[in-house]
C-alpha cells in the first residue's frame, strides 16, 4: 500500500509528489501523458526560469520526483473507490493501487470526481470556460473526504504554471506534516 497516490503527472501533481517523496512517504504518480502544458512551446512566466517548453518543464519535474523516490506509472485511471484504509485506484489495463492519501491533479478526467459525489462547476478563473472546479474545496486542497486532496485548477485556482506548482507543493507539505505529526519543512543545503 502506498502512502500517497497522485492522479495526474502535470505540474501540480508532480510537485505534490516531489514533496511527499522527499518527506519520506511512499509515493506514486499515475500519468496519462495528456498534461495541457505539453502544448506550450515557450513558457516565460515561471519565476527563475527565463524560457522553457512545457514538455521540458514536465520532464524536469518528473526527473526530480523520480530522484526523490516517486514511482511514475503511465496509464489511464478507470475507477477510484473510497475504502476503509484510504483509496483504491484501478487503471484501464486492470492494475490496481491502494493508497492512504489520494491527490487528484488532473483537469481532464473530472468524471472520477463525480463518481465520488463531488459537484463541479466551470472554473471562472480560466478564460476558455472549458475547465471545471470542484465546489467546496478549501484553499489548501482538502476535500470533504478524508485524505483526498484536489489541486490547482480543480480547486478553483487561476491558470498559471507557477500557481499549479506551488499548490501541489503545499498539498505535499500538508500530507507529510499530517503523517509525521510535525510541520514539514524542506530547504536545500
- Residue 34 is part of a domain; what is its CATH number? 3.50.50.60
pTM: 0.93
106 Cβ partners below 8 Å, 6+ apart? 7, 8, 10, 13, 32, 77, 112, 154
Model confidence band, residue 57 (pLDDT cutoffs 50, 70, 90): confident
Domain of 28? 2-180
Res. 1 pLDDT band, cuts 50 70 90? very high
Domain count, the chain: 1
Report yes or no on 188 lying in a domain: no
What mean pLDDT do residues 28-44 have?
80
E-assigned strands of 92-150? 96-104, 120-122, 132-134, 148-150
Q: Which residues contact 138 (CB under 8 A, 6 or more apart)?
A: none
Q: What are phi and psi of 154, to 5 degrees?
A: -65, -25
Cell 497522485 locates to 6
Phi/psi region, residue 151 (left: phi>0; alpha: psi -120 to 50; beta: rest), is beta
Domain for residue 49, yes or no?
yes
pLDDT category at 184 given cuts 50, 70, 90 is very high
Q: Assess if residue 39 is contained within a domain.
A: yes
Q: Is 122 inside any structural domain?
A: yes
Kind plus residue range of the DSSP H or E element containing 74 = strand 71-74
**Mean pLDDT within 130-139:** 86
Mean pLDDT for all residues in the chain? 91
Handedness of CA 175, 178, 182, 183 (dihedral sign): positive
* Residue 189 is assigned to a structural domain of this protein: no
Closest C-alpha to 136, from 121, 125, 124: 121
Residue 54 CA to residue 174 CA, distance in Å, equals: 27
Name 154's Cβ contacts closer than 8 Å, sequence gap at least 6: 104, 105, 106, 107, 110, 113, 123, 132, 133, 134, 137
> Is 52 among the domain residues?
yes
Amino acid at each position: 500500500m502506498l502512502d500517497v497516490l497522485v492522479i495526474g503527472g502535470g505540474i501540480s501533481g508532480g510537485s505534490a509528489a516531489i514533496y511527499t517523496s522527499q518527506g519520506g512517504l511512499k509515493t506514486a504518480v499515475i500519468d496519462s501523458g495528456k498534461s495541457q502544458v505539453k502544448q506550450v512551446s515557450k513558457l516565460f512566466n515561471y519565476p527563475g526560469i527565463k524560457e522553457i517548453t512545457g514538455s521540458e518543464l514536465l520532464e524536469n519535474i518528473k526527473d526530480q520526483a523520480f530522484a526523490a523516490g516517486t514511482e511514475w506509472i503511465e496509464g489511464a485511471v478507470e475507477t477510484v473507490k473510497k475504502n476503509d484504509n484510504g483509496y483504491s485506484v484501478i487503471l484501464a489495463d486492470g492494475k490496481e493501487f491502494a493508497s492512504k492519501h489520494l491527490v487528484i491533479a488532473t483537469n481532464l478526467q473530472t468524471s472520477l470526481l463525480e463518481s465520488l459525489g463531488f459537484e463541479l462547476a466551470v472554473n471562472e478563473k480560466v478564460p476558455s470556460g472549458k475547465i471545471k472546479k470542484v465546489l467546496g474545496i478549501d484553499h489548501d486542497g482538502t476535500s470533504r473526504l478524508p485524505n483526498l486532496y484536489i489541486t490547482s485548477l480543480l480547486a478553483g485556482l487561476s491558470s498559471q504554471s507557477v500557481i499549479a506548482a506551488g499548490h501541489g507543493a503545499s498539498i505535499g507539505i500538508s500530507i507529510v506534516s499530517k503523517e509525521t505529526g510535525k510541520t514539514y519543512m524542506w530547504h536545500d543545503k
